[in-house]
Amino acid sequence: MNKIYKAFPGGKNKVLTLSYDDGKVEDRRLVEIFNKYGIKATFNLNSGLTDMSNRIPKDEWKSLYEGHEVAVHTYTHPTIARCSSTEILYEMYNDKLEIEKVFGYPVRGIAYPNGSCDDRCVDIAKNLGIVYGRVAADKYSAVCSAETNAQYAEGPILLGDENGFGMPDDYMRWLPTCHHNHHLKEFGQKFMSLKKKQYLYMMYVWGHSFEFERNQNWNIIEEFCEMISGQDDIWYATNIEIVDYNEVFNRLQFAADNSFVYNPSAASAWLTVNDNQCVEVKGGTLVKL
């Protein structure tokens, strides 16, 4: 019987994604860096705050974020778990509505503002057609106190979950690997060194572009992108591309003995067969394995 593993597009087993909040003017420089190195990211926007001088105006959104994903960050950025259900609905719905008017495609992701999320927020988001939600925390912070962090000034703490590079169990409460101020280059080096083909690895970086200006550390993201770009075993993807690809893979229909597979979706899926063969299963095709 064939041994079948899920692979990312091109047969890769690693994916890098980034997520940046608020749509502030520093996004211009950040997008320029990402585009220079072929890095993809998701930008989470507050459509009710674009009249502020430190925000990207709506008429610039479409050109600036071309090639990346945009997602909901609520209309006015409240701490939504403290809000009534009516206000949560208002904030999510209106932000989604306004962003979709500009971009002309369904917006299906959210970054919860201030990391604020409870079961009501998740349920309302799902009912609006949102399929993933990112929290404002990360796997590094989740296991490290301020005192513990100081012990790892030379590099990231070893976590479970393959050092924090595993795939999420719940996409509606998606926990990133690290903030860009949490040993970004060291995490990137560790990620690049992972070679076990039997695992899928994901590195997920989050933050706010204005933090680079505030902390005068633009070199961190520039050096990281230069280091990690152009790797043959890494898929560079937006948040929604990861979610959508997993849906394509999960819809594959396998024979009982794994001798063939049918792909009912329009998009391709990739498999690793018997540890050494990469197989693309194109949309609407049946492939013998």
Q: What is the pLDDT of residue 141?
A: 61
Q: Are residues 186 and 56 in the same domain?
A: yes
Contact status, residue 110 vs residue 118, Cβ threshold 8 Å: no
Predicted confidence (pLDDT) per residue in 145-187, tens digit? 444 444 444 444 444 455 679 899 899 999 999 999 988 999 9
Q: Are residues 134 and 81 in the same domain?
A: yes
Q: Are residues 43 and 107 in the same domain?
A: yes
Q: Are residues 224 and 280 in the same domain?
A: no
Q: Are residues 126 and 267 in the same domain?
A: no
Q: Are residues 152 and 268 in the same domain?
A: no
Confidence of residue 196 (pLDDT cuts 50, 70, 90): confident
Q: Are residues 134 and 258 in the same domain?
A: no
**Distance (Å, rounded) from C-alpha 133 to C-alpha 244?**
14
CATH number at residue 142: 3.20.20.370
Q: What is the pLDDT of residue 151?
A: 45
Q: Which domain holds residue 245?
A: 12-249
Q: Are residues 36 and 151 in the same domain?
A: yes
Contact status, residue 268 vs residue 283, Cβ threshold 8 Å: yes
Domains of the chain: total:
2
Q: Are residues 167 and 265 in the same domain?
A: no
Predicted confidence (pLDDT) per residue in 70-119, tens digit? 999 999 999 999 999 999 999 999 999 999 999 999 999 999 999 889 99
pTM: 0.92
**Distance (Å, rounded) from C-alpha 280 to C-alpha 270?**
4
Report if residue 37 sits inside a domain: yes
Predicted confidence (pLDDT) per residue in 270-285, tens digit? 999 987 889 999 999 9
Report if residue 1 sits inside a domain: no
Which two three-digit tokens encode residue 230?
A: 């152009």
Report if residue 4 sits inside a domain: no
Q: Are residues 175 and 262 in the same domain?
A: no
Q: Are residues 173 and 262 in the same domain?
A: no
